[in-house]
Chains A and B, each alone.
Chain A
Amino acid sequence: MIKIKDLKANVETDDGAVDILKGITLDIPDGEVHAIMGPNGSGKSTLSYVLAGQEDYDVTGGSATLDGEDLLEMSPEERAAAGLFLAFQYPVEIPGVNMSTFLKTSINSIRKQRGEKELDALGMLKLIKTKCAELGIRDDMMKRAVNVGFSGGEKKRNEVLQMAMLEPKFCVLDETDSGLDIDALKVVADGVNALRDPKRSFLIITHYQRLLDYIKPDVVHVLAKGRIIKTGGPELALELEKKGYSEFVEEAA
């Protein structure tokens, strides 16, 4: 269960501190998929970064817990070990580090933190092979440097691959659909659906309703200017799509 209560955050700029999240309250019970939709600049990515512990943002109020544990007290890697996974809107390139090394380091760092036994080379190889096959990722991608020269679709599939390997409790997907054609979108959605589990919850951040045709959310929230202005069922996404953001936001205000 993820509980976010009146979460406020700002960022330091040359012109002083700017408030971005202005009090967000949100509960996601285990097994549920929630979507957050909102116009560009409404604070969607900021919310995901704040939950994951990015240092650029200062939390100025509120709380966020995962299964009762205070996320905001933890370092980013502790949050990862606690089961939080963020699929980045813009996955980062790491030149010279190949995918299999990266995955291996990641999995074993998390296992180490959890006091579990590290996976040996063979176990790792098997795990990578299985998960790649499930997501239709070719083996040779594992020899390439992390996200370097990856197409948009490859980058997003790579995020879902990592999510599948780390088996998190709570997954935040930040615009994983943006820039994908319909085939790539289906692959990503299938990957996410395969991970749906009564013990796992999702926060799907998206700008468009389209993704939600493939990943059926239980609840939809609309975010504008750092606040959730409306919460409803999947039909809310359709309404939003029909009216467009500006009209919708105006009506809700």
Chain B
Amino acid sequence: MSGVSEETIQTVTDMAGKYSAGFVTDIETEKAPKGLSEDIVRFISAKKNEPEWMLEWRLKAYRKWLEMPEPDWAKLDIKPIDYQDSYYYSAPKDHKDGPKTIDDVDPILLDTYAKLGIPLREQEILAGVQERTPVAVDVVFDSVSVATTFKKKLAEAGVIFCSISEAIQEHPDLIKKYIGSVVPAGDNKHACLNSAVFTDGSFVYIPEGVRCPMELSTYFRINELNTGQFERTLIIADKGSYVSYLEGCTAPMRDENQLHAAVVELVAHDDAEIKYSTVQNWYPGDFETGQGGIYNFVTKRGMCEGRNSKISWTQVETGSAITWKYPSCILKGDNSQGEFYSVAITNGRQQADTGTKMIHIGKNTKSRIISKGISAGKSNNTYRGQVKILAGAEGARNFTVCDSLLIGDQCGAHTVPYIESKNKSANLEHEATTSKIGEDQLFYCMQRGLSEEEAIALIVNGFAREVMQELPMEFAVEAQKLVGISLEGSVG
């Protein structure tokens, strides 16, 4: 979502109709045979020239995956997934792993990203600096990272920002130490699958005492038909460091469901802070029939390992046919803090079951949850959140607000909080509201010249403001527009 200009949005909208990122890039690809087996896992690992220990780790995960049941707690209606009917590896044909610069990238891909409003050529980004701060981007196309920008500038600050494939080659010690340390391979079936077949993703390491000099971001795009995307992101903030990271995602319109099962692990050491923001705009499927769309099954978890560490998740979820995702924080260090700010919009036939888990282990740990769910059309939107205070979490505090807004009367909103406290000194506050978008509000706006859709976008952005204002400034405007776009057709 980085730096989307008005024009870009317009061009893209004109190109693809309602879902503005729905076009397909015609590029030759190299794929693994369809289906999932030990051989495929070996193929992926070999393709990436991985060391033996990495392959072993994958194979262990794969064997575990075979035995694991599908998770069933969510309020979702999911058609059984045929794991053998999907490709697990797809890469642009001339793709070679290893360090890459923009000059190595196929111009067709650069154009694809330009259409999506993601300028990758550093000169172009720098030319536009007066308007916005440059953002370093790692770009993942189907199964592989095709480019990472501003690497040199970041390296000067000691920051490592590269694809995870590259990190496995170049920084094996860090990978060995941290991969699976926050989300173990067997955490749940989707995370387990990811551990076996992840093909790329981003890796970030911020050394002690460093404040990352620019926003980092990863842009995920699924292009190929019947291809799953399984990326893995690992961010480590060493003592006293700070980083803000954003991911954005889109996919072409396809009649078939496509699986996106990602894993994100964050580790914050003493006094470190990680701010992780997501603007998710995967193809939601057909508006009327619900045909197609992405299954977005994502496991995201942050470990507040050190004292006074802080992890903040902000998500704006507008896309996907089904969203299953609970970015969580384990508050292990004393005085550590976890935050979850979420806007989840469902329209048409979309389903979302999303929320967070805050696990308080250390003393005086604090968590804050602000969830804004917006349901329109015939969609269903569930907030599911857990706050758990362990016995040793003396003085723990949680504050939760869950607000739901309904547009029309054929959609559903549900709030499912689980609260568990084993320490009497804990202080927990929970508020929840459900409201309908007001006819009087709409009319007031329309009397002032706004169309009904503009009025809805404005009112919904107002409803979600507490969350939207947590987004890095560079992305806030685009995210606000996306809110409007995703609610198109919600009244009729």
Q: Which residues of A contact B (CB under 8 A)?
A: 52-56, 75-77, 79-81, 85-86, 88, 91-97, 101-102, 105-107, 109-110, 113, 145, 162, 166
B407 CB, min distance to chain A CBs, angstroms? 15
Asked whether any CB of chain A lies closer than 8 Å to the CB of B440, the reply is: yes
CA distance A55 to B445 in the complex (A): 14
Asked whether any CB of chain A lies closer than 8 Å to the CB of B449, the reply is: yes
Tell me which residues across on chain B come within 8 A of A55, comparing CB atoms.
439, 443
- Please name 26 pairs of A and B residues whose Cβ atoms are closer than 8 Å in the assembled complex, sorted by A: A53-B446, A53-B447, A55-B439, A56-B439, A75-B446, A76-B443, A76-B447, A77-B447, A77-B449, A77-B450, A77-B451, A77-B452, A88-B444, A92-B438, A94-B445, A94-B458, A95-B463, A96-B463, A96-B464, A97-B458, A97-B461, A97-B465, A101-B458, A105-B450, A110-B449, A166-B449
A55 CB, min distance to chain B CBs, angstroms? 8
CA distance A161 to B473 in the complex (A): 30
Q: For residue A97, which residue of chain B has the nearest CB?
A: B462
Asked whether any CB of chain A lies closer than 8 Å to the CB of B466, the reply is: yes
CA distance A96 to B458 in the complex (A): 9
B81 CB, min distance to chain A CBs, angstroms? 38
Tell me which residues across on chain B come within 8 A of A106, comparing CB atoms.
445, 448-450
Partner of B462, one of A53, A95, A166: A95
Q: For residue B440, which residue of chain A has the nearest CB?
A: A92
- What is the total number of residues of chain B having a CB less than 8 Å from a CB of chain A? 23
Is B448 touching A166 in the complex (CB atoms < 8 A)? yes
Is A109 touching B438 in the complex (CB atoms < 8 A)? no
Is A52 touching B454 in the complex (CB atoms < 8 A)? no
Q: For residue B435, which residue of chain A has the nearest CB?
A: A95
Asked whether any CB of chain A lies closer than 8 Å to the CB of B459, the reply is: yes
Tell me which residues across on chain A come within 8 A of B448, comparing CB atoms.
80, 102, 106, 109-110, 162, 166
A36 CB, min distance to chain B CBs, angstroms? 18
CA distance A179 to B446 in the complex (A): 25
CA distance A110 to B458 in the complex (A): 15
Tell me which residues across on chain A come within 8 A of B454, comparing CB atoms.
105, 109
CA distance A81 to B447 in the complex (A): 9
Of A54, A93, A109, A113, most buried by chain B (CB within 10 Å of CB) is: A109
B197 CB, min distance to chain A CBs, angstroms? 42
Number of A-B residue pairs, CB cutoff 8 Å, is 78
Tell me which residues across on chain B come within 8 A of A105, comparing CB atoms.
450, 454, 458
A49 CB, min distance to chain B CBs, angstroms? 8
CA distance A76 to B441 in the complex (A): 13
Tell me which residues across on chain B come within 8 A of A92, comparing CB atoms.
438, 440-441, 443-444
Tell me which residues across on chain B come within 8 A of A110, comparing CB atoms.
448-449
Is A102 touching B449 in the complex (CB atoms < 8 A)? no
Is B458 touching A102 in the complex (CB atoms < 8 A)? yes
Q: For residue B448, which residue of chain A has the nearest CB?
A: A106
CA distance A172 to B463 in the complex (A): 29
A77 CB, min distance to chain B CBs, angstroms? 5
Q: For residue A109, which residue of chain B has the nearest CB?
A: B449
CA distance A105 to B440 in the complex (A): 18
Tell me which residues across on chain B come within 8 A of A52, comparing CB atoms.
443, 447
CA distance A97 to B443 in the complex (A): 15
Tell me which residues across on chain B come within 8 A of A56, comparing CB atoms.
439
Is A96 touching B450 in the complex (CB atoms < 8 A)? no
Is A80 touching B461 in the complex (CB atoms < 8 A)? no
B229 CB, min distance to chain A CBs, angstroms? 34
CA distance A132 to B451 in the complex (A): 26
Known interface pairs A94-B445, A97-B458, A162-B448; 12 further A-B residue pairs with C-beta atoms within 8 A, sorted by A's residue number: A53-B446, A77-B452, A92-B440, A92-B443, A93-B441, A94-B444, A94-B462, A101-B458, A102-B458, A109-B448, A109-B450, A113-B449
